[in-house]
Amino acid sequence: MSRQSLAGNGEFRVERLRYRDISSIAALERLVFSEPMSLGNLWRHALSDRTAYLVIHRHNTVIAYFGFTFCERYAHVLANATHPDYRRQGLAHRLLSEGEQVARARSARAFIGEVRCSNLVQLKALQAMNWHIAGQMLAFFGNGENAYVVIKVFD
Ligand SMILES: CC(C)(COP(=O)(O)OP(=O)(O)OC[C@H]1O[C@@H](n2cnc3c(N)ncnc32)[C@H](O)[C@@H]1OP(=O)(O)O)[C@@H](O)C(=O)NCCC(=O)NCCS
């Protein structure tokens, strides 16, 4: 299905997380990340009023999500992921764009996050949306991998 057909005709909506989504976000984390967030930590974030999760459903399951937590004038990215069966259809782009509106409404002035240096797809996706690499942190991830610090300053 093309990006136009999925993103353009109302077949999906970006929605706020509901508690019943948490198990499918946890399943998606386990599927796509080598160091997934634990179910306990997902619940902790979901219950916090400092955290926002935006999700896209298909057949009552979360197929893409974007989570971030507010810290003064920054919104710090927790994670975003799209299920492998639904990639390259504009879902991450849509979530990050709508996430920016949510973050701005909470007076955040920028997104900041960390991306594995090997994650070229995420880096390309972010750069296509005017994010920038601000620096590098050595051995940031649990397996010792370095992280690029990425930032999107809101206009
Ligand atoms: C990175 C990820 C979230 C992208 O999700 P997606 O819904 O497929 O992304 P989109 O369709 O919105 O793509 C947006 C842009 O990103 C880039 N992009 C996405 N996938 C790409 C790929 N496989 N190769 C090259 N560029 C790619 C393109 O510039 C694309 O725009 P275009 O299709 O107009 O060229 C998805 O690949 C994923 O879940 N990866 C595993 C989890 C992960 O690494 N998350 C990020 C770290 S927290």
Map out the domains of the chain with their CATH numbers: 3-109 (3.40.630.30)
Q: Is 88 in the pocket of ligand 1 (CB under 6 A)?
A: yes
Prediction pTM value: 0.93
Share of the chain above pLDDT 70, in %: 94
DSSP state of 53: E
In ligand 1, which atom is closest to the CA atom of 33? 42
What pLDDT, in 10s, does the model give residues 122-144? Answer: 999 999 999 999 999 999 999 99
Q: Average model confidence (pLDDT) for the chain? A: 93
Q: Is 57 in the pocket of ligand 1 (CB under 6 A)?
A: no
What pLDDT, in 10s, does the model give residues 32-89? Answer: 999 999 999 999 999 999 999 999 999 989 999 999 999 999 999 999 999 999 999 9
CA distances from 34 to 58, 105, 130, 145 (A): 24, 32, 26, 12
Place 2 in a pLDDT band, splitting at 50, 70 and 90: very low
Q: Is 91 in the pocket of ligand 1 (CB under 6 A)?
A: yes
- Pick the residue whose CA is nearest to atom 21 on ligand 1: 121
